Amino acid sequence: MEKRRFCVYAIQSEITGRVYLGQSDCVQRKLMEHNEGRVKSTRHERPWKIMATEFFKNRDQARWLESGLKRSRGKRLEWLDKNRL
């Protein structure tokens, strides 16, 4: 059985340049949901492109990082520089 990997991701609006952070076990599916307008907080700034990712073995690790990045602009900017695609 294949183990799931969890990802913290940053996507950027191609219209406004806004960066959105999230976490998921399937970043490609989440990008599709954002671009289809199924995520309320991002639907008005479509299309989105992936700009950074970091993978973890479990969801708790991904949630912990996502939460920390959303609270600290400095950590967020450092993480984006380190994990930019």
The ranges of the chain with pLDDT < 50 are 1
For 52: left if phi > 0, alpha if psi spans -120 to 50, otherwise beta; the answer is: beta
CATH of the domain at 66: 3.40.1440.10
Please indicate, yes or no, if residue 1 is contained in any of the structural domains: no
pLDDT at 3: 72
Please indicate, yes or no, if residue 44 is contained in any of the structural domains: yes
Give the ranges where the chain is alpha helix by DSSP (H): 27-35, 59-71, 73-83
pLDDT at 11: 98
Q: How far apart (Å, rounded) are the C-alpha atoms in residues 80 and 18?
A: 13
pLDDT at 2: 56
Structural domain boundaries enclosing 32: 6-83
Please indicate, yes or no, if residue 59 is contained in any of the structural domains: yes
pLDDT at 4: 81
The total number of structural domains in the chain stands at: 1
